């Protein structure tokens, strides 16, 4: 089956085609917020837009923000299945939390950046009004983001979690190095004595993996990145495998206990003899994209990439720089 590959930008003035399963109507809008961010102005814009459409507004009981106190409060298991669209206001952590709620129900998420970097967000607060108008007019598309299904095989039985950014297995401080074996498709690739291993999606390639020397990967690439953390050995490069391949990480007998984190949240500690199996999830994350910028434009802006041509040449280049004999 051929996967549809989304474009990274849209032609100005054209009707935008959606990818995935966008809602046919927007009768119910869910809001996920950062608990410590001031969202009052955003709530005013969202509430006005929802009321103008005659739609229903829902929130999560544990948040119940004052700005949308009149919204219906639904528990997490009912929240996404009821919503046609989820608006996540916060940083990347808030958007990842919204994706975790919305992905199983196939509901798209519009990210509004209230954080420092907000790489997953589509708009900043001043653009929200225009963004809502575009969404209401259907001038958007839904971009699929690879999610990882991660199964932790322990003595207590298997536990499966979903990650949209990364799964990190790292040593418990004070107990020595982690000893980890990485296998792909049942075949051993490498054993590492290291601080740990990052297993990341292309979405995460601009985050933790990048900070340890990993590559920037376009989100339309269907791949899983495996990057060792401070390995004791010469090989410290990122391994890129197809998303369809099975990745397995074994905690070896001589290893220190390993802490597993998923999208920044601690899951549990694994002891030697346990295994982590990672494969593509059948419930990808869905992000609303408006076409106002591309992944590369967003990366250039968010990562503050300096352009040496724009900076100018600060020294004079002589016609013949070679010294005379």
d(CA 85, CA 217): 27
* Residue 71 DSSP SS3: coil
- Return the percent helix, strand and coil in the chain, to nearest 5: 20, 35, 45
Residue from 40, 92, 156, 250 carrying the catalytic annotation: 92
- Name residues whose C-beta falls within 8 Å of residue 11's C-beta, 6 or more positions apart in sequence: none
Q: Which residues pair with 167 in a beta bridge?
A: 199, 262
* Residue 145 DSSP SS3: strand
- Name residues whose C-beta falls within 8 Å of residue 218's C-beta, 6 or more positions apart in sequence: 8, 202, 295, 296
Give φ, ψ of 204 to 5 degrees.
-85, -10
Q: Is 92 a catalytic residue?
A: yes
Strand pairing class (265-270; 258-262): antiparallel
Helices 128-136/40-53 angle, 10° precision: 20
The pair of structure tokens assigned to 290 is 């408006």
DSSP at 172: P
What string of H, E and C letters represents the secondary structure of 220-283?
A: CCCEEEEEEECCCCCCCCCEEEECCCCEEEEECCCCCCEEEEECCEEEEEECCCCEEEEEECCC
Longest dimension (CA), the chain: 84
The pair of structure tokens assigned to 226 is 């495996």
d(CA 305, CA 73): 42
Catalytic residues: 92
């Amino acid at each position: 089956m051929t996967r549809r590959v989304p474009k990274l930008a849209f032609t100005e003035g054209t009707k935008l085609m959606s990818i995935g399963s966008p809602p046919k109507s927007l009768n119910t809008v869910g809001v996920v917020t950062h608990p410590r961010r001031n969202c009052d102005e955003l709530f005013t814009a969202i509430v006005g837009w929802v009321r103008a459409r005659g739609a229903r507004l829902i929130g999560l009981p544990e948040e119940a923000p004052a700005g949308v106190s009149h919204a219906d409060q639904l528990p997490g298991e009912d929240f996404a299945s009821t919503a046609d669209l989820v608006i996540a206001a916060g940083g990347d952590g808030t958007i990842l939390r919204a994706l975790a709620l919305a992905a199983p129900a196939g509901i798209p998420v519009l990210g509004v950046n209230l954080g420092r970097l907000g790489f997953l967000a589509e708009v900043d607060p001043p653009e929200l009004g225009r963004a809502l108008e575009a969404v209401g007019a259907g001038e958007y598309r839904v971009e699929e983001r690879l999610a990882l299904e991660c199964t932790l095989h322990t003595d207590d039985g298997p536990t499966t979690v979903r990650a949209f950014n990364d799964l990190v297995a790292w040593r418990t401080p004070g107990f020595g190095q982690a000893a980890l074996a990485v296998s792909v498709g049942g075949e051993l690739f490498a054993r590492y004595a290291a601080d740990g291993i990052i297993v990341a999606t292309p979405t995460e390639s601009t985050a933790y993996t990048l900070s340890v020397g990993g590559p920037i990967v376009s989100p339309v690439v269907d791949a899983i990145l495996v990057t060792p953390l401070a390995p004791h050995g010469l090989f410290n490069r990122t391994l890129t495998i197809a998303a369809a391949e099975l990745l397995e990480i074994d905690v070896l007998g001589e290893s220190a206990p390993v802490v597993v984190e998923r999208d920044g949240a601690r899951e549990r500690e694994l002891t030697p003899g346990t295994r982590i199996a990672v494969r593509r999830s059948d419930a990808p994350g869905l992000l609303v994209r408006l076409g106002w910028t591309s992944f590369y434009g967003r990366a250039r802006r968010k990562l503050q990439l300096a352009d040496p041509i724009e900076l100018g040449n600060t020294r004079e280049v002589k016609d013949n720089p070679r010294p005379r004999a």
